[in-house]
A and B are shown apart, each in its own frame.
Chain A
Amino acid sequence: MLRDAGLVALKDLRIEWTSRILTAQVLPFGLLVLILFGFGISPERIVQGRDRRTVLEDVSPALFWLAVLFSSLLALGRAFAIEAEDGNLDALQLAGLDPAGVFLGKMLAISAELVVLELVIGGGALLLYGATIEHPLLLVAVLVATTFALSAAGTLYAALGAGIRVRDTLVPLLVLPVLAPVLLGATRATESALYGSASDGWPWAGFLGAFALLYLGAGILFFGSLLEES
């Protein structure tokens, strides 16, 4: 299973590396979302009762994770678009790959892509929204846990839309409510890491880790059922 996972992950990452869709389209999209949030929320507005902190800085964790979430939808769509052509998913199974391995591999590839996305969008958020990091260790833990939570649940749900015409509209409808708790936890934990107390953030990081593990298990268990064509 792990060997298959490695093969699939490397294959996906190699495709992304040569096609450059992630760097040329998804990353700029994420940054664009950040800028648009700035337009929507006037940058000068100050939080009432807080000394000189802007609204934008105050809600920057939420905006950051929303930007990541929307961009990750594109990455997830890509991950299964490349399999849709020429019956690739069938071919993967015909090649004798374990469905659980295929799930893990796709999840790992998406995780790697998400890390890149988070670093770039996060850097953009720090610059654009003027946020500062209080507790870097907590932030790293949150990023890691959220990455796996997003990729595990995202891969499972994106597979539900694999190989169907209306994938582009269906997958966001399926994935976003499922990821709502992840957005909630990641935002709260990031708020703690940026300007709160770390002790508030760690339980949320644990929650995100548990969420990731749960969906990892569900993916390994159910991915085979999703891949079968009939």
Chain B
Amino acid sequence: MNASELDGPRVKRTVLGQEGRVVSTSSELTRALGVVAIVASVVLVVLGLFVSPADLFQGDNVRLFYLHVPVAIVALYIAFTVTLVGSVMFLLKGSVFWDLLAGAAAEVGVLFLGLTLVTGMLWGRPTWGAYWVWDPRLTSTAVSFVLYLGYLAVRKLEMDPTARSRRAAVLGIVGFANTIIVKYSVSWWRGLHQGSTLKPLDSQIEGLMMFSFFVGVVAMMAVFAWLLVHRFRLAWLQYQVDERQLEVALRERRSEGSSSGLAQGGI
């Protein structure tokens, strides 16, 4: 496959192979995005830790809410949806762009899902008295986490890149469907035995708390987008390097062949 056939992103200052140019994954857009992410995160810290009031029932523990829930929303609803879309588009179009996008989103998504689990456990200990309870949400999140670790493992396999991408794409699609099944089955399981007893936070939040939560969602989405763009561009550069190395190696091999004769090459 020729590199020019691929509809890659237009990346400024990242022309590969031009001597003396620093290869970077940043651009004006990502810098602006990074600034937004940092500012929003700082505002979130100030709002969440200092400005917003303590909860009537949960006291200061409620402050984890402003990080935990946004991180979970980004991981479960945004990141893996991007992976799903990328996987479907890759199978339909076969372009490397979609494959790399799906992979980058899954990688950042797994990071956010891990953060979801860690912050959730830290929150669970003071609230429920245990790091882990077999709540449907926790259980299904843990299973999804392992599922996407498997997806990342497939992406790292040493095999033909196109075949690997195709396998990963199938996994990205079926895995997404499976996270829904896991969620459904686990809620049903717990539902049969007990009512939904664990309500970490009353849905009636308002005022400053609601605003802090909103800032949290914006901040985490900005961080996610920023990481995603960089991860994707890194993968794109990596892909181009691999392609180029193959080209160079082929060229060397051919010139070797023409100068010394193929007969000495052996089998």
Contacts and interface: CB of A to CB of B under 8 A. Distances in A.
Interface stretch (A45-53, A77-85, A118-126, A220-228): A220-228
Interface of A: 156, 160, 163-166, 170, 173-174, 176-178, 180-181, 184-185, 188, 200, 207, 211, 214-215, 218, 222, 225-226, 228-230
27 contacts: A160-B154, A160-B171, A166-B157, A170-B150, A170-B153, A170-B157, A173-B146, A173-B150, A174-B150, A174-B153, A174-B154, A174-B171, A177-B143, A177-B146, A177-B150, A178-B174, A181-B184, A184-B186, A184-B189, A214-B181, A215-B174, A218-B174, A218-B177, A225-B166, A225-B167, A225-B170, A229-B163
A213 B174 CA distance: 13
Given A166-B157, A230-B163, A181 B181 contact: yes
B189 A188 contact: yes
Contacts of B163: 228-230
A184 B184 CA distance: 11
Nearest to A187: B189
B162 interface: yes
Contact of A165 (B153, B158, B171, B185): B158
B177 A214 contact: yes
Given A174-B153, A180-B143, 15 more contacts: A163-B159, A165-B158, A173-B150, A173-B153, A178-B147, A180-B182, A181-B181, A184-B185, A188-B189, A207-B188, A214-B177, A215-B174, A218-B174, A225-B91, A230-B163
> Which of B177, B184, B185, B192 gathers most chain A CB within 10 Å?
B185
B25 interface: no
Interface of B: 91, 143-144, 146-147, 149-150, 153-154, 157-160, 162-163, 166-167, 169-171, 173-175, 177-178, 181-182, 184-186, 188-189, 192
B265 to A, nearest CB: 24
Contacts of A173: 146, 149-150, 153
